Amino acid sequence: MDYRDFIDGLNLRHFSADELIAQAHRVRGDVTNSLPPEQLWSAIVPTLWIADMVRHQSGVPLIICSAYRSPSYNRAVGGASHSQHLANTALDLIPVDGGVGKLFDAFIRIRKAGGFKGGIGRYVDFIHLDTRGTNATW
C-alpha cells in the first residue's frame, strides 16, 4: 500500500489524497518537504476526520495549506521545534469564504462537546487544527 491508497481508504468526503501529497512537494529555499514516514501515516486520521466533518457541516470548502512537515522543512518554514506537523497530527486550513472566525468557533464547539482533544490556533487567514491528545488554544 502507498500513501495515496492509505488516504483514499479513509473515504473522506471533502479531502483527497492529492491535497495531502501536494504538501510533500512544497519548497522553502533549497528544502523540499516530503511525505510522512509510513509509521506516522495513521496519526493524521483523527485530524482529517474532524476537518472533513466540519467541512461537510459548514458547506464551506477548506484548503489544506500545511500538513506533515519533515524536520528540515519545518526548520526552513520557521515552525516550532515541537510542531504537531512533525508528528503528522496537524493541518492548517484556509476557509475559502474567509470565515476564519466561524471555522475556529466550529472546531471549538466540537472539542468542547468531546469530539477530540487537541490544538486549535487562529491566525489571520487560516486555522491550525491538531489532535495532540491535550487541549491547547491560541
Judged against a pLDDT cut of 90, whether residue 1 lies above it is answered with no
List the domain range (segments joined by +) for residue 56. Answer: 3-137
CA distances from 33 to 16, 66, 73, 121 (A): 18, 11, 5, 22
Interstrand relation of 90-95 and 62-66 (parallel, antiparallel or unpaired): antiparallel
What is residue 132's predicted lDDT score, i.e. its pLDDT? 97
What is residue 37's predicted lDDT score, i.e. its pLDDT? 98
What is the C-alpha separation between 37 and 80, in angstroms, rounded? Answer: 19
CATH assignment at residue 115: 3.30.1380.10
**The cell 481508504 sits on which residue?**
9
- What tens digit of pLDDT does each residue of 34-51 get? 999 999 999 999 999 999
What is residue 116's predicted lDDT score, i.e. its pLDDT? 97
Please state the pTM of the whole predicted model: 0.95
Judged against a pLDDT cut of 90, whether residue 124 lies above it is answered with yes
- What tens digit of pLDDT does each residue of 78-122 get? 999 999 999 999 999 999 999 999 999 999 999 999 999 999 999
21: cell is: 501529497
What is the C-alpha separation between 38 and 69, in angstroms, rounded? Answer: 14
Look up residue 37 and give its DSSP letter: P
What is residue 5's predicted lDDT score, i.e. its pLDDT? 97
Residue 66, beta-bridge partner list: 92
Read off the pLDDT of each residue in 7-23 and give the average, rounded to a whole number: 97
Q: How many CB atoms within 10 Å of residue 79?
A: 17
Say if residue 99 is exposed, middle or buried (CB neighbours under 10 Å; 0-12, 13-18, 19+): middle
What is residue 33's predicted lDDT score, i.e. its pLDDT? 98
The count of domains in the chain is 1
Judged against a pLDDT cut of 90, whether residue 131 lies above it is answered with yes
